[in-house]
Chains A and B, each alone.
Chain A
Amino acid sequence: MSNALPLFRRALIESWRSMIAWTLGIAAALLVYVPLFSSISNTDLQALIANLPEALVETIGYTNIGTGAGYVQSTFFGLIGFALFTIASIAWGAATIAGDEENGTLELTLAHAVSRSQVVLERGLALLVRLLWLGIVAAALILLLNVPAGLDLEVVNVLAATTMLVLLTLSTGSVALAVGAVTGRRGLATAAGAVVAIGGYAANAIANQVDDLEWLHTISPYSWAWGEQPLMDGLDWVGFAELLALTLVALAIGLAVFARRDVDG
């Protein structure tokens, strides 16, 4: 047992500092935003929103901001949490192969009795576990604040939304990991992950606003995750499958090319 998944365990051990930093960041975001709901839900916020142009409200996703679910979705899952999880995931994904290679430290690992697929898969698993941890922290804090802040969220829906957040950011992190495995370039890997994440966010916003471009929802990972409002209506298995497919396709391409190419010292 002490020899199982050595690269996975190494990856987790090497990243404990950044794990603590991201955990604190996400906890801080939740502790700042969520308690505000109880103070603003009694105000004229609904009236204020109603006076805003409908297109703007839809673009920034504040349609249901008067309810606990709408508020937490708009502020955390759709915005701050999405941003924090995305940045963490893409940074980790780009570092997994490309960062290691650019540091010149990948060569030594590959010179040992490990296959390249094993390196990608064990470290990919470490990426998943890190995001799961951040998801557990987020879900636990939201559930802890649920009653005091008057959010009135259903436990199963909090878990559903957290699952989608983890999977959404796992998919963009996997794109970064895969592009890093293909190119060995950390900058390119980060850019690719960011394009998918930000592009998906922008596509979702445009599709909300322009009727003729509503089809953009179908190619936006952000829409796959949040289109069916999991925090209100529970897990959306179609979106779940789409995000999982993106993750697996990215990793498959990364694995295939990485196994064949030269590695820089």
Chain B
Amino acid sequence: MTDAVRTEALVKRFGRTTALRGLDLAVPTGSIFGVIGPNGSGKTTTMRVVLDIVRPTSGRVEVLGTHPRQGGPALRRRIGYLPGELKLESRVRGGDLLTHLARISGGVPQNEITDLADRLHLDLNRQVRTLSKGNKQKLGIVQAFMHRPDLLVLDEPTSGLDPLVQQQVHELLREAAGHGQTVFLSSHVLSEVQNTATEVAILREGRVITVNTVEELRRSAIRRVHVEIADAAAPALHALLISLPGVSNLVEPTPTSATLSLSGDPDSLVKTLAHFRVTELTVEEPDLEQSVLGLYETPLSEAPSETPLSDTAADDE
């Protein structure tokens, strides 16, 4: 089993700033591999190294069995890339731009452009520079997928897209993996990675902190829960909640409500609440900041664990 992308001790400096500090990453062929991390953690730089847009200062990098520099145009023909900050300023129509990009990609099957555009509800007759951010993003997605590359490198693929189109994109990702294509994507939305990826690497300050399966990540994710009950048996509720595994930051605004942070699966919480008449229950989807904050605050050498939330994250709302 080979890796579509593999880096060893990858270092990249831009002048005095260091973007990558010894990045070790292996993206298995045929997987949907997600990288998450805060801004400046090295996600975009890693992808630019893969595309040979920037060159590493030191370390090894192998993409589809060859070095990006040596691979040249022939290698990039096998890669579809969606830049993180997609800029499209051209006056040409979207369809014409895609035709041009298809020429410099090569091997775009007939009708692939229109099929993809239809699925994403993208109007190809509009001038590119007049498109909204979301529609530009759709155009970027079409050009990344249209030549059915062996490797898709997608930097924040659903940024700026509405939820329905996000679903379409997730569908495209799964189909690609079904065809044996490898997907290497970055996100700062944990749910996106959870919904699609099989493996997730968490980056921080130019290094990989951990590589988890999505299942592991889900278990360590921290959710914010708000619950209100109709009964007057409030003290019992609070006593029960505080004793549950994974519950922290318990706040009780009124006797019949509670707000808390929950790590791990919500099973015991749900079963506890089942004894009450629940009038209101919201579970906020864990975003990256909250769910992996523990990982960021743990020193690099320590294994990630169910670290309690910091004050800043608990300040939510």
A interface with B by C-beta (< 8 Å): 3, 6-7, 10, 13-14, 17, 103-105, 107-115, 118, 260, 262-263, 265
Contact = CB atoms under 8 A, between A and B. Distances in A.
Contacts of B87: 103-105, 108
Contact of A112 (B44, B54, B76, B91): B76
A112 B92 contact: no
Nearest to B52: A110
B238 interface: no
Contacts of A10: 100
Contact of B88 (A105, A112, A115): A105
Given A108-B83, A262-B53, A115 B72 contact: yes
A113 B105 contact: yes
Given A13-B92, A113-B76, 8 more contacts: A14-B92, A105-B89, A108-B101, A113-B77, A115-B72, A262-B14, A262-B55, A265-B83
Interface string B238-262: 0000000000000000000000000
B11 interface: no
B230 interface: no
Interface in B69-110: 72-74, 76-77, 79, 81, 83-92, 100-101, 103-106
Nearest to B143: A108
Interface of B: 14, 44, 48, 51-55, 72-74, 76-77, 79, 81, 83-92, 100-101, 103-106, 140, 143
B305 to A, nearest CB: 36
17 contacts: A13-B92, A14-B91, A104-B85, A105-B87, A105-B89, A105-B90, A108-B143, A110-B51, A111-B53, A112-B73, A112-B77, A112-B101, A113-B74, A113-B77, A113-B106, A262-B55, A265-B83
A89 to B, nearest CB: 22
Contacts of B79: 111
Given A262-B14, A265-B44, A107 B100 contact: no
A265 B92 contact: no
A7 B104 contact: yes
Residue among A10, A105, A112 having the largest count of chain B Cβ atoms under 10 Å: A112
B90 A263 contact: no
A108 B48 CA distance: 11
A6 B54 contact: no
A6 B73 contact: no
Contacts of A6: 100, 103-104
Given A14-B90, A105-B88, A262-B55, A111 B100 contact: no
A109 B90 contact: no
Contacts of A263: 53-54
Contacts of B76: 111-114
Residue among B53, B72, B89, B143 having the largest count of chain A Cβ atoms under 10 Å: B53
Residue among A107, A108, A111, A118 having the largest count of chain B Cβ atoms under 10 Å: A111
A118 B72 CA distance: 12
A107 B105 CA distance: 14
Contact of B84 (A3, A109, A260, A265): A265
A112 B79 CA distance: 8
A7 B100 CA distance: 8
B103 A103 contact: no
Q: List 5 A-B pairs, minimum CB-CB distance, nearest first.
A: A104-B87, A113-B77, A262-B54, A111-B81, A6-B103
Contacts of B100: 6, 10
B83 A111 contact: yes
A104 B89 CA distance: 9
Contacts of B72: 115
Nearest to A114: B104
Contacts of B77: 112-113
B146 to A, nearest CB: 11
A265 B85 contact: yes
A58 B76 CA distance: 57
B5 to A, nearest CB: 15
Given A13-B92, A265-B83, A109 B55 contact: no
A101 to B, nearest CB: 11
B54 to A, nearest CB: 4
A112 B89 contact: no
A103 B128 CA distance: 14
B275 to A, nearest CB: 54
Contacts of A107: 48, 53, 83
B88 A3 contact: no
Given A3-B103, A14-B91, A113 B73 contact: yes
A10 B48 CA distance: 24
A104 to B, nearest CB: 4
A115 B104 CA distance: 10
Nearest to B97: A10
A261 to B, nearest CB: 8
B113 to A, nearest CB: 15
Nearest to B73: A113
A41 to B, nearest CB: 45
Nearest to B50: A111
A113 B104 CA distance: 6
Contacts of B106: 113
B244 to A, nearest CB: 46
Contacts of B52: 110
A108 B104 CA distance: 11
